[in-house]
Amino acid sequence: MSKIINLNKKINNQEITSQELINQTLKTLESNKNLNAYINIVNKYSNNKNNKTSLLNGIPYAIKDNINVQNTITTGGSLFFKDYISPYDAHVVELLNQAGAIPVAKANLDEFGLGGTGTFSGFGHVVNPFFKERITSGSSSGSAVLVANDTVPFALGTDTGDSIRKPASYLGIIGYKPSYGYISRFGVFPYSPSLDHVGILTKSVTDVAIVADCICKHDEQDFTSQIQEKHNFYKSLNDPIKGIVKICYLENILDFMPSENKNIFLDSIKKIEGNKIKIRPINFPVELIQAIAPVYKIISYSEAVSCYQNITGIPFGQKDIKQNFQETISHTRSKYFGKELKRRFVFGSYCTLVENYDDLFVSSKKIRRLIVEKAKEIFKEYDFVIMPGSSTWAPTKTDVETKKYNDTLIDDYLQIANFSGYPSITLPMYKNNNNFIGINLMGYMNNDKQLLTIAKHINYILNNGD
């Protein structure tokens, strides 16, 4: 049920003050320190306003530590920024400030978002609160954990490949990545700007809508930010479903998942189907789905290596000045970057070498276009695509360390929403002891309002949630 509305009522009825709520959150953070879900506390934050008209007034939240909060250490999950104090608030933080919401914890993440396990932070592994041997997935690992274990009613994350939606699937919560350009990335550390999105993690679609109403706004400081009308996501959540909603799933891709999980998905879509919702199987070219992983890697690692050229050890971050520029830059990057970041940067540098650029980077962008065109065709006939939120339960840490864990085609499927910029939301689908698996719904570009309305409907059918 909506935690934000519940807390807002308590604050308005003077059953609790916002300060007491913050103190409670700090206490919970302290007692769950062993989960390693946050890197720093946002201390005595005072940029937020008192906005009595907003449902978010006085509500604490967690924020992935690649998003700047003024006068607070923002590390990006990297030791290179372990002492870096943000001089300003990111645009999303400013918008939440105006609504009166309060950032309390900077959540742990895979370094600069370049990872999908929660094990690649300079500040140690994020622990799955339900099943210690299993990973949380990432890179918005800390944000997802702090929502999953009820420390905060909502958290902000970023999603370049699936970094909000994958941990949501493994931890039984909701993860929403809006249409590209809906949420400004001003003040957010980049990973791969043509794929990067800021998004929201919560336990109810109602809370997603309340937060999205606040932060989905045009920002002229981000040149990819879309000009948007006032959305009113929250108000339209209960709009009656007009006509018949046509949903499809990619039947041939399901064969790449374990039959146990496939059957859970097929049972769930049977429950969702009804008078107003029709769900049909379609086929998607397997060779295009197989191309997603290499194309994603080439584009995202190449963009990342370009974005982080500015980490030289001279203008900001850790400063270990050596004899000359070359030595300083190589020393700084070798000393402070983690293994996975280095691996991806080596790969990205190779793809952007002048002799490889056309064959690797430019060709990948062409294949990306083919995948997006194919996805676009689906929306001529269907309103949404529904798929499992991940191919299986969260893998174990040993699976990751021994590289036994490989994303399958189902997992790659989620990246279509980053290639295209289409909105996408993962909801809880099934729980088996402490294992979770989600269900994902993708809509057409800028069709976020209808996506959230249907998501709420489905969340009610599957989880009795709102």
Chain residues binding ligand GLN by CB under 6 A are 113-116, 139, 159-163, 191
216 vs 229: CA distance, rounded Å: 10
Least separation in angstroms between CB 144 and ligand GLN: 12
- Least distance between ligand GLN and beta carbon 196 (Å): 8
Catalytic one of 2, 18, 64, 268: 64
**Which one is catalytic: 86, 121, 137, 139?**
139
Q: Catalytic: 391?
A: no
**CB closer to ligand GLN out of 161 and 187:** 161
Pick the closer one to ligand GLN by CB: 99 or 299. Answer: 299
Minimum distance, C-beta of residue 332 to ligand GLN, in the bound complex (Å): 23
Catalytic residue among 2, 140, 163, 225: 163
- The tally of CA atoms less than 13 A away on the side-chain side of residue 362 is 7
Q: Are 313 and 328 in contact (CB under 8 A)?
A: yes
- 290 close to 409: Cβ distance less than 8 angstroms: yes
Q: Give the residue with the Cβ less far from ligand GLN, 96 or 417.
A: 417
Q: Is 106 a catalytic residue?
A: no
- 163 is annotated as an active-site residue: yes
Nearer to ligand GLN, 116 or 313 (CB): 116
Looking at the Cβ atoms of 191 and 249, the one nearer to ligand GLN is 191
Residue 96 vs residues 58, 90, 101, 154, 164: alpha-carbon distances, Å: 10, 10, 5, 12, 19
Q: C-beta of 229: minimal distance to ligand GLN in Å?
A: 28
- The least CB distance from residue 162 to ligand GLN, in Å, is 5
Cβ-contact 310, 194 below 8 angstroms: no
Selection from 313, 297, 303, 269 nearest residue 407 by Cα: 297
C-alpha dist (Å) from residue 40 to 111, 148, 234, 335, 462 = 15, 19, 31, 22, 36
Rounded CA separation 401/157 (Å)? 25
Q: For residues 419 and 185, what is the distance between their CA atoms, to the nearest angstrom?
A: 17
The residue behind tokens 């191919």 is: 391
In whole angstroms, give the CA distance from residue 380 to residue 376: 7
Residue 295 CB, nearest approach to ligand GLN (Å): 12
Taking the CA atoms of the chain, what radius of gyration do you get in angstroms?
21
Question: Considering beta carbons, is residue 296 or 382 the nearer one to ligand GLN?
Answer: 296
- Using CA atoms, how far residue 377 sits from 372, 383, 413, in Å, is 9, 11, 16
The partner residues of 462 in beta bridges, in order of sequence, read none
End-to-end CA distance of the chain: 6
* Residues labelled as active-site residues: 64, 139, 163
